[in-house]
């Protein structure tokens, strides 16, 4: 029976949430959820370095076959969006450096996949994950359940066409984003 591991990441510069599931056949099994707390660090570049290093550590420890990452949503604050985009970028770079396929999902798509409601609250998503995966307790911060939700969303969308943006490596990323890359 084919097994695969999916790492889900909710990138952030104050907290990066992540979750891992193992898929055996058509069933998913909970492996881990946790978060990287970056609140105590003032330097934005140090935070990015820590996100990269923690993502590499997760990859080297759990050997995920795929990474699902929450895409930044468009907010009103351009500065915080830029920081979020950078956090997502370094997590993606870590995966790409290990040649792991990455798929981005919009927050609404993740919420829809988990709860059936694209406008569900973090609490609703967490409770539904608790029910689906049989989690005994939920963490205090729900960033880790958001990371886990990205992994579960990816599991639900596996095998479907048009799952989001996927990249199998640097070459694929550049090819798919050639309109954004200066020549």
> Is residue 67 within 8 Å of residue 101, measured between CB atoms?
yes
Percent of the chain with pLDDT over 90: 73
Taking the CA atoms of 112, 116, 117 and 120 in sequence, report the sign of the dihedral they define. negative
The Cα–Cα gap between 6 and 62 comes to: 9
pLDDT of residue 169: 59
pLDDT of residue 165: 54
pLDDT of residue 172: 62
| pLDDT reading at 183 higher than 50 | no
Model pLDDT for residues 8-64, shown as the tens digit of each residue: 999 999 999 999 999 998 899 999 999 999 999 999 999 999 999 999 999 999 999
pLDDT of residue 158: 83
Q: Which residues contact 124 (CB under 8 A, 6 or more apart)?
A: 111, 115, 117
Count of CA atoms in the C-beta half-sphere (13 A) of 137:
4
pLDDT of residue 79: 84
DSSP calls for 89-109 = HHHHHHHHHTT--EEEE-HHH
Average pLDDT over residues 98-124: 95
Average pLDDT over residues 81-85: 88
End-to-end CA distance of the chain: 45
Q: According to the annotation, is 171 in a ligand binding site?
A: no
Q: According to the annotation, is 10 in a ligand binding site?
A: yes
DSSP summary character for residue 151: H
Q: What structural domains does the chain harbor?
A: 3-177 (3.30.420.10)
Q: How confident is the model at residue 125 (pLDDT cuts 50, 70, 90)?
A: very high
Q: According to the annotation, is 37 in a ligand binding site?
A: no
Rg over CA atoms, the chain: 16
Give me the active site residues, please.
10, 70, 143
């Amino acid at each position: 029976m084919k097994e695969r591991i999916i790492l889900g990441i909710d990138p952030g510069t104050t907290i990066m949430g992540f979750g891992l599931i193992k898929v055996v056949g058509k069933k998913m099994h909970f492996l881990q959820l946790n978060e990287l707390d970056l609140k105590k660090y003032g330097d934005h570049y140090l935070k990015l370095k820590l996100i990269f290093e923690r993502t590499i550590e997760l990859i080297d420890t759990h050997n995920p076959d795929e990474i699902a990452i929450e895409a930044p949503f468009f907010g009103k604050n351009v500065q915080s969006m830029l920081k979020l985009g950078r956090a997502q970028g370094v997590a993606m770079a870590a995966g790409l450096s290990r040649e792991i396929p990455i798929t981005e999902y919009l927050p609404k798509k993740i919420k829809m996949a988990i709860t059936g409601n694209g406008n569900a609250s973090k609490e609703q998503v967490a409770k539904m994950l608790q029910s689906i995966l049989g989690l005994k307790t939920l963490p205090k911060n729900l960033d880790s359940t958001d990371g886990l939700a990205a992994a579960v969303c990816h599991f639900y969308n596996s095998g479907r066409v048009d799952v989001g943006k996927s990249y199998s490596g640097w070459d694929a990323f550049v090819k798919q984003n050639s309109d954004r890359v200066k020549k």
